[in-house]
Amino acid sequence: MASEITYAEVKFKNASPAAVAEAPPEKKNEHHPQKYPLCLPWLISLLLFLVCIALIIVFLVESWTCCPKGWRRFQEKCYYLSNDLMSWAESEQNCTGMGSHLVVINSKAEQDFLFEELRKSSKIGVNYYIGLHAQVVGQWHWLDGTPLSETAAFWRAGEPSNVDHEMCVVIHTKEVSHNNWNDVICKDHNRICQAEAVTV
């Protein structure tokens, strides 16, 4: 005969009521106000991108130009004012040795710049060779063979003398006018060398 299984409920003294398994409290879908708009990271990224583009443009388009130590810069050119004296031929050779040439003045602005620089110079000479000379009396040419343009000529009053022993041209610093070129004997004078400014 099969035995019967009996179930009994047992209670213990001092026992706490049976713990009812509680489900964890449901998280309420809380909406915290955002401290910044959702699009802010995109805006910051866009701003950084635009700054990078601007820097690239600056470096590619607006390069820096500089001159060797002791040279003076005007626009895209550098100028060297010598302290020593040489003939015109030696002066041109000296400038060439420095990667330059005797100055070729193409505009009133350039002439005005040189006039002011010579006035400011602490060790100023009287005459400074420029790259203008003649092989035939009265036929003035720049170093590269270009004839002198009368619209960009800055002769002193009464100059050039156009005599056969004055075939080189200087800037005469004692002249108070910006028109201060003088034809001279090609003996020892100071010089102005000119070179292209270095772009970095």
Please tell me whether residue 65 adopts helix, strand or coil conformation. strand
Give the integer Cα–Cα distance in Å for 110 and 152.
Answer: 10
- In this structure, the strands spanning 168-172 and 72-74 are unpaired
CA distances to 91, 102, 132, 156 from 73, in Å = 20, 15, 21, 25
pLDDT, tens only, 88-115: 999 999 999 999 999 999 999 999 999 9
pLDDT on residue 106: 92
Closest CA to 128 of 139, 136, 137, 117: 117
pLDDT in tens, the chain (200 residues): 555 665 556 565 665 555 555 555 565 555 555 576 777 778 888 888 898 887 777 666 556 779 999 999 999 999 999 999 999 999 999 999 999 999 999 999 999 999 999 998 867 889 999 999 999 999 999 998 889 998 899 999 999 999 999 999 999 999 999 999 999 999 999 999 999 998 77
pLDDT on residue 124: 81
pLDDT on residue 187: 96
Spell out the alpha helix ranges (H) of the chain. 40-61, 88-97, 108-120
pLDDT on residue 190: 97
pLDDT on residue 39: 79
Question: Domains in the chain, please, with CATH?
Answer: 65-199 (3.10.100.10)
